[in-house]
Amino acid sequence: MTKEATASRVELGELLPLMEEFYTIQGEGHHTGTAAYFIRVGGCDVGCHWCDVKESWDAAIHPPTEAAAIVANAKKYSKTIVVTGGEPLMWDMEHLTGLLKAEGMQVHIETSGAYELTGTWDWICLSPKKRMLPKPRIYKEANELKVIIYNKSDFDFAEEHAAKVNEACELYLQPEWSVREKMTPLIVDYVMANPKWKISLQTHKYLNIP
């Protein structure tokens, strides 16, 4: 396949820069404790300094992989699929989610919302970042707002975005892993004073699983 043909198929979402795929337990947010198959797509320019998967940022180092092959592998393991990154919405998700839904799968996404929403989703976890704010539409679509708390100013940031999501959207505050011992007590106090919020923890790291 020529470079031009490959680029065209990537543009259509028929090929995606697959970083990794694995079957594990969802460790964060609403679906914590649920078995799920994760599809991690390469490519991200949001650039969080505390990102724990920086190797996902450069899409060029992750091979363009047939979306159909990704789905064929995923369906061997689980009916619950989580598409993550990187920032998966850098790519057109219509083709991938169409194939997944045709197999009867529940399809979730974890995204910063920095790019326009594409694809058909059963659950949208919006985790906004300061460097590239979410596009307006996703606030109406999000099922879950998960804000990472790295310092005290992030509580104000969280409230700004909570004011924009739909009424049914669940609200989570999650300590950034490297400062969890410092920030978790502050989050506990904040949630007790503001019970519309819930606490999310990266339980997969405590369990030492992917």
Give per-residue pLDDT as tens, 137-192. Answer: 999 999 999 999 999 999 999 999 999 999 999 999 999 999 999 999 999 999 99
Q: How far apart are CA 29 and CA 54, in angstroms?
A: 21
- SS3 (DSSP) at 166: coil
- Between CA 201 and CA 104 the distance in angstroms is 29
Residues making up the binding site for [4Fe-4S] cluster: 44, 48, 51
pLDDT tens per residue, range 56-78:
999 999 999 999 999 999 999 99
Q: How far apart are CA 75 and CA 100, in angstroms?
A: 8
The predicted structure's pLDDT at residue 1: 80
Q: What's the predicted TM-score (pTM) here?
A: 0.97
Q: Which residues are annotated as a binding site for S-adenosyl-L-methionine?
A: 50-52, 86, 127-129
Annotated binding site for substrate: 25-27, 40, 84, 210
Annotated binding site: 25-27, 40, 44, 48, 50-52, 84, 86, 127-129, 210
The model's pLDDT over 83-131, given as tens digits with 9 standing for 90+, comes to: 999 999 999 999 999 999 999 999 999 999 999 999 999 999 999 999 9
